[in-house]
Amino acid sequence: MDLARRLFAEWLGTALLLAIVIGSGIMAERLAGGNAAVALLANTLATVWGLYILIEVFGPVSGAHFNPAVSAVMAWTGALPRARLLPYVAAQLAGAACGAWLAHAMFEMDILQWSLRERTGPAQWVAEAVATAGLLLVILRAPAARVSSMVGAYIGAAYWFTASTSFANPAAAFGRMFSDSFAGIAPADVPGFVIAQFVGAAIGLAAHRALGEREPAR
């Protein structure tokens, strides 16, 4: 029952995260009148606030990973039992898809769709590696009481300083390919993002260890 509760938290939290990211992107695009900067700002603020709340709510239950790269690093460091890694990832991927479909339902869009938005190339991949490395470094080094606020703040900043707008999450990339909207990514471009994200996660862990070990945030 403890594992089931954790997996439910990871599924629900990831679903809500993707609903926030995609839903706010749809709303922002509709209201911004073609101004991409305004749309991105609105999308950023919704994601920052939503992520903060989700980590606070689900952190005590499952650790609020919502991210296979985070779960992989936590399993590597021993903060997450390795037997739980694949179930966590499965719950996160399922939640990501459900979150995309929920966003579509709320905005009266076709529930099932594929994104046509191209996001590819070396600059995008480097940006994803940087975004994910920074995210893992923040998670591993932030004081436990400040993880939610620091993660939210970092992701908000990374939306703007990375060329990819900081997916930093294989589950997010997976879920976004189901949405042909402002936040979408073409399915063919997802593997490049995911590889870059896992490379970035490894870099973030290496940087954390080079700075000196501390108890990972759970």
Residue 44 lies in a domain: yes
Give the pTM.
0.95
Q: What is residue 81's three-state secondary structure?
A: coil
What pLDDT digit, counting tens, does each position of 50-103 carry? 999 999 999 999 999 999 999 999 999 999 999 999 999 999 999 999 999 999
Residue among 69, 62, 76, 186 nearest 124 (CA) = 186
Widest CA span in the chain: 50
- Position 216 scores a pLDDT of 52
Whether residue 206 lies inside any domain: the answer is yes
Neighbours of 191 (CB within 10 A): 12
Q: What is the mean pLDDT of residues 150-156?
A: 98
In a domain, 145, yes or no: yes
From CA 88, how far away is CA 80, in angstroms rounded? 10
Is the predicted pLDDT of residue 119 greater than 90, yes or no?
yes
Beta-carbon contacts of residue 197 (< 8 Å; ≥ 6 apart):
69, 128, 129, 131, 132, 167, 168, 169, 170, 173
Instruction: Flag whether 106 is in a domain.
Output: yes
**What are the two backbone dihedrals, phi and then psi, of residue 216, each rounded to the nearest 5 degrees?**
-65, 145
Dihedrals phi, psi of 138, to nearest 5 degrees: -65, -45
pLDDT of residue 61: 97
Task: State the DSSP code for 144.
Answer: G
> 48-59 burial, b if ≥16 CB within 10 A, otherwise e?
bebbbebbeebb
The per-residue pLDDT of the chain, averaged, comes to 96
**Residue at 79 is within a domain:** yes
Residue 216 lies in a domain: no
pLDDT at 35 over 80: yes
Return the pLDDT at 215.
58
Residue 137 belongs to some domain of the structure:
yes
pLDDT exceeds cutoff 60 at 1: yes
Domain limits at 134?
2-211
Q: Tally the domains of the chain.
A: 1
**For residue 211, how many other CB atoms are within 10 A of its CB?**
11
- 152 within a domain of the structure (yes/no): yes
CATH of the domain at 117: 1.20.1080.10
